[in-house]
Amino acid sequence: MTNPVTAANTSSASNVPANAPVNLPYTKESFVSGQEVRWCPGCGDYSILATVQRTLAKSAFPKEKYVFISGIGCSSRFPYYMNTYGFHTIHGRAPTIATGLKCVNPELSIWVITGDGDGLSIGGNHLIHCMRRNVSINILLVNNQIYGLTKGQYSPTSPVGQITKSSPYGSIEHPINALCVAIAAESTFIARTLDTDPAHMSYVLDRASKHKGVSFVEIYQNCVIFNDKAFAPVIGRDTREDRMIYLEDGKPLVFGKKREKSVRLKGLQPEIVEIDKVNSKELILHNEKDPSPHYAYLLTQMEYPEMPVPFGVFRAVERPAYEEMMGKQIEEITKAKGKGDLKNLIYGSNTWTVK
């Protein structure tokens, strides 16, 4: 199975300013803080942390302009472990803090670290509006299909029937598909990767960091204590060739131990076919730049066991970024009406004194 960890997107549109200095001597260790990393032994967050640090070290962007912002959860300890600026905020509100910060300082590269509970439950509303506004921040949603920090309750992404401490007879709730939420909010960059493939994760994170506008990345992560091997049926070493698809722009959705399988459309439904038994023109060609969200949504509906699960960049399109539009609007209004006076606004004609 091919892993498309090829050159990152070279588009000039980027969350990293084009005039960033070059040849900065960063290494992974440049982004390692002095804090003791406290996750359970074997937790997938270790791989995610190390990959983020290695990925940032490859960039010439000034280290002091990175900011990591999190809410509540195991993954939300991230800001402590990054040798950058950061905020450990309140439950579900990291996208809101990140939006405000990006608007007042657009030169920053801002990363929101959230989990399936933090981001899709109490923080769902904040997440949606951040994405629809297209604020130029990078959102990493670490999905382990469980509440880990609070010791094993079912989460918004837990499958139907999952037995947990808060669902002893099995969850009866239909799970949220994180990427469907991103597509519904029309996020301009949507991707999925996994903790056990650092090379692919680094490729996706690098692409996300260079995207102008919001980037949303779902990361399959293993919680060894409360939901061990949740994704093993798909990403396990013995099964992944037949159950995973690495997306490559402009190429068919190829998978299988001998790369003998692909996907075509039958009406509006994807269908698995053997490549040598169909006309190659019938195969779906991946198009991450499709301006319509319909194709990306179709990919999110490919789920195990009926279909192989896609990984990679689902969507990468351009749309004006929120902070740029806001800055331009303020500039135009200031030019037309002059600079505002806060004191006059507060003590203007629309005030009165209570005696």
pLDDT (tens digit per residue) in 273-305? 999 999 999 999 999 999 999 999 999 999 999
Among residues 188, 213, 203, 159, the alpha carbon closest in space to that of 311 is found at 203
Alpha carbons 130 and 127: distance in angstroms, whole number: 5
Alpha carbons 322 and 100: distance in angstroms, whole number: 11
Instruction: For residue 55, give both structure tokens.
Output: 């990925």
The two most distant CA atoms of the chain are separated, in Å, by 88
- Under the banding of pLDDT at 50, 70 and 90, the label for residue 10 is very low
Instruction: Give 18-22 contacts, CB < 8 A, sequence gap 24+.
Output: 20/59, 20/60, 20/61, 20/62, 21/60, 21/62, 22/60
Which is it for strands 309-316 and 189-194: parallel, antiparallel or unpaired? antiparallel
pLDDT at position 12 is: 35
pLDDT (tens digit per residue) in 311-338? 999 999 999 999 999 999 999 999 999 9
Strands, sheet with 189-194, edge to edge from the N-terminal-most edge strand: 85-88, 66-70, 109-115, 138-143, 215-220, 189-194, 309-316, 244-246
CA Rg, the chain, in Å?
A: 22
- Under the banding of pLDDT at 50, 70 and 90, the label for residue 354 is confident
The CA distances from residue 252 to 12, 215, 264, 275, in Å, are: 27, 24, 9, 10
Sign of the alpha-carbon dihedral angle for 10, 11, 16, 21: positive
Q: Which amino acid is at 197?
A: D
Which is it for strands 261-266 and 269-274: parallel, antiparallel or unpaired? antiparallel
Give the mean model confidence (pLDDT) for residues 303-308: 97
Domain boundaries defined on the chain = 28-249+286-346
pLDDT (tens digit per residue) in 154-168? 999 999 999 999 999
pLDDT at position 321 is: 98
Tally of CB atoms within 10 A around 132: 14
Alpha carbons 55 and 48: distance in angstroms, whole number: 10
List the end-to-end C-alpha distance of the chain, in Å, as a whole number.
Answer: 78
pLDDT (tens digit per residue) in 56-99? 999 999 999 999 999 999 999 999 999 999 999 999 999 999 99
Q: How many residues does the chain have?
A: 355
Alpha carbons 30 and 193: distance in angstroms, whole number: 24
Strand locations in the chain, DSSP E? Answer: 66-70, 85-88, 109-115, 138-143, 189-194, 215-220, 244-246, 261-266, 269-274, 309-316
State yes or no: pLDDT of 19 exceeds 90: no
Average pLDDT, the chain: 93
CATH number listed for the domain at residues 28-249+286-346: 3.40.50.970
pLDDT at position 347 is: 82
State yes or no: pLDDT of 7 exceeds 80: no
Which is it for strands 66-70 and 85-88: parallel, antiparallel or unpaired? parallel
pLDDT at position 20 is: 54
Instruction: For residue 274, give both structure tokens.
Output: 């053997």
pLDDT (tens digit per residue) in 92-109? 999 999 999 999 999 999
Instruction: For residue 154, give both structure tokens.
Output: 């079912």
Backbone angles phi, psi at 147, to 5 degrees: -85, 105
Spatial neighbors of 252 by CB under 8 A, at least 6 apart, are 262, 263, 275, 280, 283, 284, 285, 286
Cis before 305? omega within 30: yes
State the helix-helix crossing angle for 124-133 and 94-104, rounded to 10 degrees. 30
pTM strictly above 0.85:
yes
